[in-house]
Structure 1
Amino acid sequence: MLYHYSSVNADGRRVNGRMAASNPVDLEMRLKHMGLDLVQEKPMTRRFLPGLSGVPRQELINFCFQLEQLTRAGVPLREALSDLRDSLEHPRIGEITANLVENIDGGQTLSQSMAAHPALFDRVFISLIRAGEVSGDLPLVLNKLTAALKWEDELITHTRHLLIYPAFVGTIVLSATVFLMIYMVPQLKMFVTNMGQALPAHTRALFLISDLLVNYWYIPLLIIAGGLSTLVFLLRTNPLARRRFDALKLRLPLLGDILRKIILSRFASTFAMLYAAGIPVLEALHTTREVVGNRLVRRALEETGQAIREGRNMAAAFQDTGLFPPLVVRMIRIGESTGELDTALLNVSYFYNRDVQESVNRAQALIEPLLTLVLGALLGWIMLAVLGPIYDVISALRF
């Protein structure tokens, strides 16, 4: 629980602030260690806390890393969490850590306490923590979680870099086009039409588009808003629409292949961690379905689990879905035969992770000139449509 407190120091000055604590008594004891006497405390509800809707990934990485270091050094879990609660700066994760301490004092395990906060600790995280508790090697599990979170953070960074430049250039192109069509073209239209020159087809098309945007600008906005609203409604209410949309994303030119590699890398890395932690194959598959982020792949994993449950070996079950590339199937077959399935899957994850980085770099190198070409062609068409008739008139006057 996070408290807003009012206290006095040794000089009698009032000191206000906020601090995470299990209860008011714990808050008072912690303030005494700081040389403060508690005067009044008030629990802070979530709606009063800035940034409380989520925790940055970097804060979760720091949480896992520090908890790993403390537990590896032999500090009891309850004391390690108490130390983290006092040192974490982000208010949300500080509040959650205080709640973990409180639940552990109430007799719950760490995994049970974390299960009460699914927005921060997903099913994979909780399953690995539970496996670490059972095996008695919680520091090793926390180390793997830290590495996995760092890898996901790097992956998100690469993906963001791929999308930022096209979004930026696309915004500029759209803004420039709208400005030209609404402001510049109507003024030039009056001049061109007054010349009495027969206008070519591309000039008439440009003036028609400009007139539509000037007089009926709200229609494109309504079409876009209606289309997006319909798409969101279908994705929320229709499972078939969600599956088809996810399948469409995997078939997108350029981006679809990168997305598929990201999903396969995430699947292989997560499944390898769960399997290495001693979690049974079927349970690991069930848990991994929650993190792939694509309903088509999730359905393929469900079919794989059902086939394994019916007695099929893993490699054949994955191959039968037709969704996993030969590399994944081959590495699973090798892992099954050697008894080192986690190592084989980590090799798959490493391969796809490196391939994703190279694909992102290639996509960036391809997108930049492509967008420049589109912008140049658009501006060239507008200039040709407007200046072409003017040039014809000047040429006629010259002769």
Structure 2
Amino acid sequence: MNRWVSSLRVEGNINMPDYKYVARGRDGTKQKGTLTANSRGDLADMLKSRGLTVDTTTVKEKGAGGLKSLFAQRVKTQDVLIFTRQLAVMVNAGLPLLQSLDILAEQTESEVFAKAINDIASAVEGGETFSDAIRAFPRVFPELFVSMVRSGEASGELDNVLVQLADFMEASAELKRKIKGAMTYPVVAFAIVILIALGLIIFVVPRFATIFSDMNAKLPASTQLLITISDVLLSPQILIVIAGVIAGVIGLRAYNETDSGRFNLDKIKLRIPIFGLLMRKVAVGRFTGTLATLTRSGVPLLQALEIVESTAGNLVFSKAIREAADGVRNGESLADPLARSGEFPTMVTRMIGVGEKTGAMEIMLFKIQEFYDSEVNALVDQLTSLLEPVVMVFMGIIVGGIIIALFMPIMSLSSIV
């Protein structure tokens, strides 16, 4: 019943809606704009005729307020993962795709995702392929997902491809969870230390400053510095500092929105000690794992490289992958342009080169992914064990230093008495 209601809604939207799109030119530059088209497929054809490849498309809502888009619900990765695994089981069991989608739409707890599945089911019932139907939801099903599903449809192994997708998504989510978990403790601890320090400086130090002033005592340099910091934080001039910080953050975000700005910032990230090494290992593992998963499912190498470029997560690596794709397009092996980029370790490019020569590149890519996943896990464990004592020492120095600076004058006076 829900699907029929959804179907009516989709047909109403097809009446020449406006689409906001993000597309890439042949040189890799991004372009944004709005076009009116009958469907996303027509929009893709229109942009293709202009030499553009679609990255994302969204229907431009008419008369929608800003609050609606601000509080729009998103589909969780975990929901998509469960959907993919369950759909693979149903298709493998011989259940028709349309019936499987209806069942999954009823089972999902997310209303937003249920509506999306209903729209997909309606599109499939209307004659679209499953891959074309899910392509209409780029925020839920990225291009990697769509391409692999399309390959599975062409080969008649949709269920196997869905299992591969679910495994890939699960591994990626697990790695992201581990990295996020390792970073959560130090970030929270540092935030607590800063809040405690600010609380002491703003509320406690002024009271001690008054006592010291009444005693007319000569203060140690550390105590005087602490009182000066407190006076600055409580003075009206601090608003200028705060405004400057906010302006700096806004300017940095605006700079990061430009292609050159984000590229330069991504380059800086890769040079940060320890964390840069971690990001580089994650990027190499993601590249090899995604490329291996795509090629195993039957996606052509050039198309797979285009997808991997968009999922690299770092523009420095995106550029290296784009240049590698250009090299492959011009008849080179994949390993050579990757080696020239300087972003991939020698071991990686040589293993890929051996894989190309022996016809076992997919196996080599998975081996590289396994190696770098283990490297990332080991580095995250080392970071966790290293950061815990560092955070504790930092807390002791900051909080202990403030307390010692406050009580030094009192101890000096008591010793004189």
Q: 2:3 aligns with which of 18, 21, 38?
A: 21
Q: 1:250 aligns with which of 265, 270, 280?
A: 270
Pairing 1:345–2:365 present: yes
Cα shift at 1:24? 7.8
What TM-score does the superposition give when structure 2 sets the normalisation length?
0.82
What TM-score does the superposition give when structure 1 sets the normalisation length?
0.85
Cα shift at 1:112? 0.5
Aligned residues: 361
Secondary structure of 2:310's aligned partner:
coil
Distance (Å, rounded) in 2 between the aligned partners of 1:220 and 1:72:
62
Give 2:398's aligned residue: 378
Distance (Å, rounded) in 2 between the aligned partners of 1:25 and 1:181:
61
Q: 1:307 aligns with which of 298, 318, 327?
A: 327
Give 1:233's aligned residue: 254
Cα shift at 1:198? 2.2
Runs (4 or more) in structure 1 with deviation over 6 Å come to 45-51
- 1:245-282 C-alpha deviation (Å, 9 max, x unpaired): 11111122222221221111111111001111222222
User: Unaligned 5+ residue runs, structure 2?
Assistant: 9-63
1:95-244 correspondence runs (5 A): 95-216=115-236, 217-236=238-257, 238-244=258-264
Secondary structure of 1:21's aligned partner:
helix
8 Å Cα contact 2:7-2:122 kept in structure 1: no
Pairing 1:290–2:272 present: no
Distance (Å, rounded) in 2 between the aligned partners of 1:164 and 1:302:
33
- 1:335-386 C-alpha deviation (Å, 9 max, x unpaired): 1122111111111111111221221111111111111111111123212322
- 1:303-356 C-alpha deviation (Å, 9 max, x unpaired): 111222222222111100000012211220121122111111111111111221
1:72-83 correspondence runs (5 A): 72-83=92-103
Secondary structure of 1:111's aligned partner:
helix
Distance (Å, rounded) in 2 between the aligned partners of 1:121 and 1:347:
27
Distance (Å, rounded) in 1 between the aligned partners of 2:207 and 2:191:
24
Cα shift at 1:96? 1.1
Pairing 1:275–2:275 present: no
Counterparts in 2 of 1:356 and 1:24: CA distance versus 1, 3 Å:
closer
Secondary structure of 2:313's aligned partner:
coil
Cα shift at 1:224? 2.4
- 1:119-151 C-alpha deviation (Å, 9 max, x unpaired): 101011101011111111101100000001111
Distance (Å, rounded) in 2 between the aligned partners of 1:25 and 1:282:
36
**Which of the two has higher C-alpha Rg?**
1
8 Å Cα contact 1:22-1:99 kept in structure 2: no
- 1:65-120 C-alpha deviation (Å, 9 max, x unpaired): 11100111112222222222232222112111111111111111011001111010
Cα shift at 1:229? 0.6
Counterpart amino acid of 1:315? A
Give 2:283's aligned residue: 263
Distance (Å, rounded) in 2 between the aligned partners of 1:383 and 1:53:
46
8 Å Cα contact 1:131-1:278 kept in structure 2: yes
8 Å Cα contact 1:51-1:92 kept in structure 2: no
- 1:168-224 C-alpha deviation (Å, 9 max, x unpaired): 111211110111111110111111233333223222211110101112343443232
Distance (Å, rounded) in 2 between the aligned partners of 1:178 and 1:219:
18
Counterpart amino acid of 1:57? T
User: Unaligned 5+ residue runs, structure 1?
Assistant: 1-18, 27-44
Give 2:389's aligned residue: 369
